[in-house]
Structure 1
Amino acid sequence: MKNRLTLIITLLFCCAGFPLSAQNIEIKKLKKHIYFLADDKLQGRATGSAELEKAAKYIEKEFKKYKLKPLGTQGFRQPFEAKVRRVTVADSIRKAENIIGFLDNGALYTIVIGAHYDHLGLGNFGGTREPAHIGQIHNGADDNASGVAGLLEIARYYSSNKVKEKYNLLFIAFSAEELGLIGSKYWTEHPTLPLDNIHWMLNMDMIGRYNPENGLAVIGYGTSSKFPTIFENISTPIKINKSRDGNGGSDQTSFYRKHIPVLFFHTGGHDDYHKATDDADKINYEALKAILELEIKVLDNSMMQEKMDFIWTN
């Protein structure tokens, strides 16, 4: 009787046009994450700062809430050192940590889902696009509180959907991306699970400023022969622009260089990019929700495939 009732509810939702996976992405939670991470109190989340540590604790607390297993080298943490290279500063060597949570489904292979959680601080160690903003807080709501919010919502969805997927899921919040993809490079050089066991890697960086005229960039589409099949028959209100190359200015590049298939979701540049004006009230939360619903469909379809092959696109 219970199974029959579940089937009826499933059919009702599907017939009404509501995909079940979409019900678990909540704008309220996305706003909560972004407004916390992009608050002035976090002073722009500069690598090595006490404020970035607050962001790390926030992410770690959420991972614990979702009952993910710690898969760092020190609990959920993977410490490393990062160097500021763009400008000369007294504290050029900075302590950094990746935050790593594992959803263990007892599978041989694992999908990595990542987003960087650091940003530019006060813009005084390089990277700001507006010299007049140096000394001002660069909140980085789109870059990349939006990606971290997506990371946390997808982790919450898969840890609470009462389904044992065919693949494990490894969630990584990378540090020191703004200093040169250092956190993701460190993880791929010092992986906390074998690289040969990675199905593929999904990266989210700046997914909060969707513009229907420009669409959503999906970079890395050519890095596996399986991606066309995975995207086949996916319905979404989001306009998708596929790019074959696995390289790009974000953390998927570190995995691509290790011959791992990748997809990088990105809503594109805007006037507030790397400025002190990238704030939480400018995020398109409805579109962010739709992008995450799309990503869940892609993830689900990828779990119907055998281990992904890799194609070098350069």
Structure 2
Amino acid sequence: MKITLKISFISSFLSILLLLPICLAAQIKQANLKKHIYYLASDKMKGRGTGSKEVNKAANYIEKHFKKYGLSPKGEKRYRQTFTAKVRRVTVSDSIRQADNVVGFLDNDAPYTIIIGAHYDHLGTGHQGSSRDSLGVGQIHNGADDNASGVAGLLELARHFATNKEKEAYNMLFIGFGAEELGLVGSRYFTDNPTIPLENIQWMLNMDMIGRYNPDNGLAIIGYGTSSKFPSIFEGITSDIKFNLSRDGNGGSDQTSFYKKNIPVLFFHTGGHDDYHRPGDDPDKIDYSSLESILKLEIDVLNNSMKQGKMDFQWTN
């Protein structure tokens, strides 16, 4: 009896050890989040304005990591979906600019797919419009929170689900959207020219400005009312940060393009701040610990959503 118990204990212990690398591979890593944000929001990237060589470097960076994580290309030309965007808020000589969505696919041989997205463009030096600092036009708007934080989240979620050694019940399509700051142009282009059938999309998760968590306000999760399944998905979910659920599917970011196509959405957002659309939105002001917590919360939501059947859609207004 003692020998049997000892063998059973050893077997259980070895099983736990075998599982450890899987858990480690799936962890969200603050070091990765910092690396991504400090690269994308460095002065060398000159604010990642649409049409600039720097925003193309950002697209190359996203594509490089999609390849590294083994995501399949799902653009129109490999990972890229190219389109044109127009600067409308100000008059400039180069108002028509080329932009790209960067699209990577995690194929789990499932009939339906979850979209995970974040835009990677920002305001450049403010000359394309939208700067909230008239004296800052001509200065680099680094856009660490808006939206290097969301792109860092996009890349870490891609790494998590691509390396967790599990075959989920849904496929995942990871998209870095271009030209969001010019009016949600990239996400609208994708939903008008989808590279997978829209009817095969389960729901869409969008991250835009998730790096400046304020404990007094909490994290906003917008779109809770866009499917009758979301209450079940959030049942039992807890976090070490405060989060607030909002029903509306509309909003000033890329999930709106999917909502308008009758697709359930959730938009994760830590709210405005004094550096919003100003030159002071820098990497050292990001709350990396809370950003990690937000991504862990998103993983819980995603995992719970994959226990559901095909989700219905509801208009919220």
Q: Normalization by structure 2: what TM-score?
A: 0.94
SS at match of 2:47: coil
What is the alpha-carbon distance in structure 2 between the residues aligned to residue 11 and residue 70 of structure 1? 30
Gaps of 5+ in 1: 13-19
Match of 2:142 in 1: 139
* Deviation by residue 1:202-241 (Cα, 9 ceiling, x = unmatched): 0000000001111000000000011111111112011111
Residues 9 and 304 of structure 1: CA distance in aligned 2, closer, same or farther (over 3 Å): farther
Q: Percent identity among equivalent residues?
A: 68
Residues 168 and 131 of structure 1: CA distance in aligned 2, closer, same or farther (over 3 Å): same
What is the alpha-carbon distance in structure 2 between the residues aligned to residue 77 and residue 306 of structure 1? 30
1:164 aligns with 2:180: no
Match of 1:130 among 126, 129, 133: 133
Instruction: Map 1:218-297 to 2 at 5 A.
Output: 218-297=221-300
* Deviation by residue 1:171-220 (Cα, 9 ceiling, x = unmatched): 00000000000000000000000000000000000000001111000000
What is the alpha-carbon distance in structure 2 between the residues aligned to residue 235 and residue 10 of structure 1? 28
Instruction: Map 1:109-124 to 2 at 5 A.
Output: 109-124=112-127
Confirm or deny: 8 A CA contact 1:21 1:296 kept in the other structure: no
SS at match of 2:115: strand
Q: Structure 1 residue runs of 4+, over 6 Å off?
A: none
What is the alpha-carbon distance in structure 2 between the residues aligned to residue 62 and residue 143 of structure 1? 20
Offset of residue 4 of structure 1? 3.9
What is the alpha-carbon distance in structure 1 between the residues aligned to residue 24 and residue 231 of structure 2? 21
Offset of residue 110 of structure 1? 0.1
SS at match of 1:43: helix
Match of 1:211 among 209, 214, 219: 214
Equivalent residues, number: 309
2:300 partner letter:
K
Offset of residue 24 of structure 1? 1.0
SS at match of 2:135: helix
Confirm or deny: 8 A CA contact 1:21 1:293 kept in the other structure: no
Offset of residue 42 of structure 1? 0.5
SS at match of 1:72: coil
Match of 1:175 in 2: 178
Match of 1:198 in 2: 201
What is the alpha-carbon distance in structure 2 between the residues aligned to residue 38 and residue 170 of structure 1? 24
Match of 2:302 among 299, 302, 309: 299
Offset of residue 9 of structure 1? 5.5
SS at match of 2:202: strand
Confirm or deny: 8 A CA contact 2:117 2:154 kept in the other structure: yes
What is the alpha-carbon distance in structure 1 between the residues aligned to residue 87 and residue 256 of structure 2? 20
1:165 partner letter:
E
**If you compute each CA radius of gyration, which structure gives the higher value, 1 or 2?**
2
Match of 1:98 in 2: 101
Confirm or deny: 8 A CA contact 2:26 2:160 kept in the other structure: no
Confirm or deny: 8 A CA contact 1:22 1:293 kept in the other structure: no
Match of 1:73 in 2: 76
2:153 partner letter:
G
Match of 2:5 in 1: none
Confirm or deny: 8 A CA contact 2:26 2:163 kept in the other structure: no
1:256 partner letter:
Y
Residues 132 and 231 of structure 1: CA distance in aligned 2, closer, same or farther (over 3 Å): same
What is the alpha-carbon distance in structure 1 between the residues aligned to residue 75 and residue 94 of structure 2? 25
SS at match of 1:143: helix
What is the alpha-carbon distance in structure 2 between the residues aligned to residue 5 and residue 250 of structure 1? 47
2:31 partner letter:
K
2:314 partner letter:
I
Offset of residue 3 of structure 1? 8.0
What is the alpha-carbon distance in structure 2 between the residues aligned to residue 217 and residue 274 of structure 1? 19
What is the alpha-carbon distance in structure 1 between the residues aligned to residue 24 and residue 90 of structure 2? 45
Match of 2:86 in 1: 83
What is the alpha-carbon distance in structure 2 between the residues aligned to residue 171 and residue 255 of structure 1? 14
Confirm or deny: 8 A CA contact 2:26 2:164 kept in the other structure: no
SS at match of 2:77: coil
Q: Normalization by structure 1: what TM-score?
A: 0.95
1:184 aligns with 2:187: yes
Match of 1:16 in 2: none
RMSD of the TM alignment (CA)? 2.0
SS at match of 1:115: strand
